[in-house]
Structure 1
Amino acid sequence: MLLLLLLASASLLLPWAGAGRIIGGWEAKPHSRPYMAYLSIRSVSGNYQCGGFLIRPDAVLSAAHCVAGETKVNIAVTLGAHNISQNERSQQKFHVDHWVIHPNYSKNHHVNDIMLLKLNPRAKLTKEVSYIPLPSHNESVGPGTTCEVAGWGWTSQTQNETSVLMEVNLKVQSNEECEKYFKSSYDHQSMVCVGDDDRKKSTWKGDSGGPLVCNGKAHGIVSYGRKCCIFPTVFTRVLYFGPWIHEELRKFALQDLPDSTSSD
């Protein structure tokens, strides 16, 4: 799946720019994950992709690093897709004019790597397009929990590509596992440490912004990993950002976001 590379300055890490592919996974059953969103992003620095997921008919969650720091950004969201290279009848496409990045997002430290996009018009809910619930306040996931990740990202570290949605099962790791590799860049309150104990499966470039699904709910967002290796990887902890998400959704319901939040 899509893992973005970690910080260049640390020589170990770089946040993954663009959605990546699942490594060591398999093709998902078509439309078995109706919440998945494909983000096609154009900016001055180039064209790339990210993942995301529908949490309400008018809202998609993704990773802030997919657009933060870019100028003249243009985002197109596709829902209901399996083969993103085909014009499937199930697909619904949106040009996104308004989005909001967490105000305390830091590219250098990978913290608060979360973004909400507003869909206008709202998505039409069908068997191929539906939202995924978020965890409630008492639904945290601990080490050893098996979760699922999906994306249209690279299927290997050497840029093998795929047009169909791929998926893989990964386990939640202890916080100590990520602290060992990422040091102070890893914050156990706002991040989830995830990976495959055998180091054969992972998200990778292009999967960024996609959901970590545990027990049927979106507990994480693909955020960053190691530049050299596929284990472990870090996800934004959705539960931690619950208050911020709900406040922004309330604003979505009241009025459009100001243009200033959706530009550079």
Structure 2
Amino acid sequence: MLLLLLLTSAFVLVPWTGAGRIIGGCEVKPHSRPYMAYLIIENRLESFSCGGFLIRPDAVLSAAHCVDIKGIMSITVILGAHNISYQEQSQQWIQVTQWVIHPKYSQDGFKNDIVLLKLKEKARINEYVQTISIPMSNEYVRQGAECEVAGWGLTSMTGSRTNVMREAELKVQDWTICQLIFWNYQRQSMICVGDDYGKKSPYKGDSGGPLVCKQKAHGIVSYGLNGHLSPEVFTRISYFEPWIREQLRKFALQELPDSPSSD
């Protein structure tokens, strides 16, 4: 029945994107997700927020559409946060010096929706700030796997907000469901995820946050349907693992004495 309802509305709804928020979840135990990052992206006119996650002390993964904005002047990563309405003692605010969008990223269908951010200084690893592992290229999260997604912000489609990190439990769905609903769904590079009851979801405001399955970040919040909570599409991290490793090696080379920095 849920699939039928979604199919009947798929032709009149457009995908949502942009910094997802958690609907239907619950507040997490403070600092129990120490890999989470809150991104503040600023241009000349306004600022935007997105999610992200720390995979190395100097590198954060997020969604490409979060930084696909004209005239970006700065990106700030906040680590160690629970309540982002004020500057907690646990927080580390670090500027981003470089970001690398996947070369085949496309706004048309949110293909290859992944970006790697290089931090100006390495994060201090402690009980509040830690990295999370990513899967190898041959690791797949299977249908039915129970995963978690966390973020800050909207708690309903009407715009209610929260400043504390919230989390929802979601299951990996049959990929054919998303393929029927989303014309742009690509099985190799995307994961179909949802709540069986259609009551829990990331939503506008939490893009870039991780889909965590068995303590590994397997997906990145990417897009869904306006007006519907489930299913959603996540970027499949294992597909991009070789590209991620290549960029991390380049980041490391830039830190060597007398090494030229890349553009």
Query: Is TM-score (shorter-chain normalized) higher than 0.5?
Result: yes
Structure 2 letter corresponding to 1:163: N
Which of 249-258 and 113-122 deviates more?
Answer: 249-258
Gaps of 5+ in 1: 1-9
Residue 17 of structure 2 is matched in structure 1 by: 16
2:159 is the alignment partner of 1:196: no
Structure 2 letter corresponding to 1:250: R
Aligned partners of 1:15 and 1:107 also within 8 Å: no
Structure 1 letter corresponding to 2:193: V
Residue 91 of structure 1 is matched in structure 2 by: 91
Residue 71 of structure 1 is matched in structure 2 by: 71
Point out which structure has higher relative CO (alpha carbons under 8 A, 6+ apart). Answer: 1
Gap change, CA 1:259 and 1:160, over 3 Å in 2: farther
Aligned partners of 1:53 and 1:62 also within 8 Å: yes
Q: Pairwise CA RMSD of aligned residues?
A: 1.6
Residue 59 of structure 1 is matched in structure 2 by: 59
Gap change, CA 1:259 and 1:76, over 3 Å in 2: farther
Tell me, in whole angstroms, the C-alpha distance in 1 between the residues paired with 2:162 and 2:262. Answer: 34
Residue 246 of structure 1 is matched in structure 2 by: 245
Residue 126 of structure 2 is matched in structure 1 by: 126
Tell me, in whole angstroms, the C-alpha distance in 1 between the residues paired with 2:137 and 2:121. Answer: 30
Aligned partners of 1:102 and 1:115 also within 8 Å: yes
Residue 31 of structure 1 is matched in structure 2 by: 31
Which of 22-31 and 224-233 deviates more?
Answer: 224-233
Tell me, in whole angstroms, the C-alpha distance in 2 between the residues paired with 1:148 and 1:175. Answer: 18
Q: CA deviation at 1:132?
A: 0.2
Residue 142 of structure 2 is matched in structure 1 by: 142
Structure 2 letter corresponding to 1:123: A
Tell me, in whole angstroms, the C-alpha distance in 2 between the residues paired with 1:255 and 1:205. Answer: 35
Tell me, in whole angstroms, the C-alpha distance in 2 between the residues paired with 1:151 and 1:75. Answer: 18
Tell me, in whole angstroms, the C-alpha distance in 2 between the residues paired with 1:186 and 1:66. Answer: 19
Tell me, in whole angstroms, the C-alpha distance in 1 between the residues paired with 2:163 and 2:141. Answer: 31
* Higher fraction of strand: 2
Tell me, in whole angstroms, the C-alpha distance in 1 between the residues paired with 2:174 and 2:220. Answer: 17
Q: CA deviation at 1:11?
A: 5.2
3-state secondary structure, aligned to 1:153: strand
Tell me, in whole angstroms, the C-alpha distance in 1 between the residues paired with 2:70 and 2:151. Answer: 22
3-state secondary structure, aligned to 1:163: strand
Which of 25-34 and 131-140 deviates more?
Answer: 131-140
Q: CA deviation at 1:46?
A: 2.5
3-state secondary structure, aligned to 1:228: coil
Which has the larger Rg? 2
The count of aligned residue pairs is: 249
Q: CA deviation at 1:96?
A: 1.1
Tell me, in whole angstroms, the C-alpha distance in 2 between the residues paired with 1:73 and 1:174. Answer: 40
Tell me, in whole angstroms, the C-alpha distance in 1 between the residues paired with 2:192 and 2:24. Answer: 18
Q: CA deviation at 1:72?
A: 2.9
Tell me, in whole angstroms, the C-alpha distance in 1 between the residues paired with 2:42 and 2:116. Answer: 17
Aligned partners of 1:34 and 1:129 also within 8 Å: yes
- Correspondence 1:137-216 to 2 at 5 A: 137-183=137-183, 185-216=184-215
Q: CA deviation at 1:137?
A: 3.4
3-state secondary structure, aligned to 2:76: strand
Structure 2 letter corresponding to 1:14: P
Structure 1 letter corresponding to 2:222: S
Identity of aligned residues (%): 57
Gaps of 5+ in 2: 1-10
Structure 2 letter corresponding to 1:63: A
Residue 47 of structure 1 is matched in structure 2 by: 47
Tell me, in whole angstroms, the C-alpha distance in 2 between the residues paired with 1:62 and 1:74. Answer: 15
Aligned partners of 2:149 and 2:170 also within 8 Å: yes
After superposition, the C-alpha distances for 1:152-192 in whole angstroms (9 at most, x for unaligned) are 13111011111100001000001111011102x00000000
